[in-house]
Amino acid sequence: MAGAAGGANPISVMKDTPMGTRQIAVVVLMVFLNALDGFDVLSSAFAGPGMMEEWGIDRTALGVVLSAELVGMGFGSVILGGMADKYGRKITMLACLTVMAIGMYLAGTATYWQLLPGVPGTAWLTDIVLWRFITGLGIGGMLAATNAVVAETTSSTGRSVSMAFYVIGYPVGGVIGGFAAQEWLLVVGTWHDVFIFGAVVTAAMIPLVLFLVPETPAFYAARRPAGALEKLNKSLKAYGKTPIEALPEVSDNGPKPKATDILANPRLRPITLMLAFGYMFHTFTFYYILKNAPTIVALAGFTPAEGASSLTYANIGGAIGGAIFGFFLKKFGIKGPTIIAALLGVAAIGYFGLGHESLWEWRIAALFTMFFSNAAIVGYYAAFALSFPAYARGSGTGFVLGVGRFGAAGSPVVAGWLFDNINGGVDNLLTVSLLMGIGSVLAAALLFFMPIRDADEDMELEAAERAKASA
């Protein structure tokens, strides 16, 4: 939206008025959806030791399986993130939930096969890789859409805390899934049941989104479909806000805004690229623990269920760290706290890499790694919400998440290769951990040089200046 020369601005209506019950309810549901994403992504990590045992695959091959949904998330974030800007946040979430449910169910029914039987390194030719990729497509689009919904349904004063709770939904999903896996699914069933459980829960979320989540006013104001004013006012009414009499007038001065501005606009391009590559570097480190902790602990002499428990505690740490970090963002801004959290996360990963004798030591080490690393993720998501204007928020967030998934997808593959080729076993854990921590160091460096400001406010100022110049 180029700006408002007349008519109330629905974006300002949502930002500048106190949050009502419906807004809070929608944010809570977005937290649950992010928790679902967290479980769906980590389900392959919970299932990893069982797949290795049943199929006899090595760490490198397992790394490819663990990366499959992350690659899918990259494509899904870009492709379906753009769908959220074109067709709406709500319909995108419903489509993504459907794709995720199908992918999770089919992953649970997967069988092992190879094009070249007995030849090491061809384990990626299993049908589970395809189903995990498809699941990742849905998760990637879901993350872009839900992030936009939180940004567009919260007030200015409540956005940072709401975004923090939204982001900690991801590790909360890992905690719930971890307890379900270690106490039930992997005890009375097999790794297949982890995926089936995820499919059932995912399908159950579809009617909740269908009936409880209105489309955001910001989408209608930016996209302006047929009957935009009526639809926008219906959305405002659903959120408990006063309807507007007319759509804000779009200035004819200057270039028309479009989703590709995230790379074409000289003001948005550097922010987009620095966010994308910084997030990519950080997720490379972040997913090292999330994807490998259960297998690392299990190979240190513990059962698969005990290995899964380390990931549960990692996610407990992520939830606590993310919740606390939201208040730091509200008080100190985004940049400084996020840099500090990323670097402390690297230190915690080094401590994890020292190796430990007892299961509780492993759990505590995993908890601290995610306490700080997920806090930095909260900072990045807050930056996404702030840095992209409403008309390109889904596309911008999707692009950044898509590029970021290259780091996430590469993480288990690189870690698996390092474990298999640097002396082997747990003996090289510290070396591998320190190498994998380099990503967050690079992310902190990019954050230091990144300009972070409110894109919607910039758009309003630019529109006002153009209107003044043409008067």
Q: Model pTM?
A: 0.72
Average pLDDT, the chain: 83
**Which range among 24-38, 334-348, 441-455 shows the weakest confidence by mean pLDDT?**
441-455
Whether the pLDDT of residue 258 is over 80: the answer is no
Report pLDDT for 353.
Answer: 92
Q: Between these two residues, 202 and 189, which has the higher pLDDT value?
A: 202
At residue 1 the predicted structure's pLDDT band, cuts being 50, 70 and 90, is: very low
Residue 310 lies in a domain: yes
Largest CA distance in the chain: 76
Tell me the CATH number at 312.
1.20.1250.20
Residue 5 lies in a domain: no
CA–CA dist 432, 426 (Å, integer):
10
**Which range among 17-21, 51-55, 167-171, 459-463 shows the weakest confidence by mean pLDDT?**
459-463
Whole-number CA gyration radius for the chain:
22
CA–CA dist 14, 22 (Å, integer):
12
Question: Which tens digit of pLDDT belongs to each residue from 391-440?
Answer: 778 788 888 888 887 888 888 889 888 888 876 544 689 999 999 999 99
Residue 301 lies in a domain: yes
Highest average pLDDT, of 113-127, 272-286, 311-325, comes from 272-286
178 closest CA partner among 318, 5, 335, 9: 318
Residue 355's domain spans which residues? 10-248+255-470
At residue 208 the predicted structure's pLDDT band, cuts being 50, 70 and 90, is: very high
What's the DSSP call for residue 273?
Answer: H
CA–CA dist 471, 466 (Å, integer):
9
Phi, psi (deg, nearest 5) at residue 150: -60, -45
Give the rounded percent of residues in the chain with a pLDDT score beyond 90: 32
Residue 2 lies in a domain: no
Residue 461 lies in a domain: yes
At residue 388 the predicted structure's pLDDT band, cuts being 50, 70 and 90, is: confident
User: 3-class DSSP state for residue 189?
Assistant: coil
User: 3-class DSSP state for residue 244?
Assistant: coil
Question: Which tens digit of pLDDT belongs to each residue from 114-157?
Answer: 555 555 544 444 678 889 999 999 998 998 899 889 988 998 88
Residue 331 lies in a domain: yes
Report pLDDT for 123.
Answer: 45
**Is the separation of the CB atoms in 317 and 368 below 8 Å?**
yes
What's the DSSP call for residue 256?
Answer: P
Report pLDDT for 405.
Answer: 78
Report pLDDT for 101.
Answer: 95
> Which amino acid is present at 322?
G
Residue 4 lies in a domain: no
**Is the separation of the CB atoms in 368 and 351 below 8 Å?**
yes
Question: Which tens digit of pLDDT belongs to each residue from 421-435?
Answer: 876 544 689 999 999
Whether the pLDDT of residue 58 is over 80: the answer is no
Residue 1 lies in a domain: no
User: 3-class DSSP state for residue 467?
Assistant: helix
Report pLDDT for 8.
Answer: 62
Whether the pLDDT of residue 113 is over 50: the answer is yes
Report pLDDT for 99.
Answer: 95
278 closest CA partner among 407, 169, 170, 385: 407
Based on the structure, what is the number of domains in the chain? 1
**Is the separation of the CB atoms in 333 and 189 below 8 Å?**
no
CA–CA dist 400, 189 (Å, integer):
38
What's the whole-number mean pLDDT along residues 239-253? 75
Report pLDDT for 138.
Answer: 93
Report pLDDT for 78.
Answer: 81
Whether the pLDDT of residue 459 is over 70: the answer is no
Report pLDDT for 343.
Answer: 97
Measured between alpha carbons, how far is residue 312 from residues 73, 132, 253, 286, 309 in Å? 22, 21, 54, 15, 5
Report pLDDT for 464.
Answer: 57
Give the rounded percent of residues in the chain with a pLDDT score beyond 70: 88
**Which range among 246-255, 283-292, 393-402 shows the weakest confidence by mean pLDDT?**
246-255
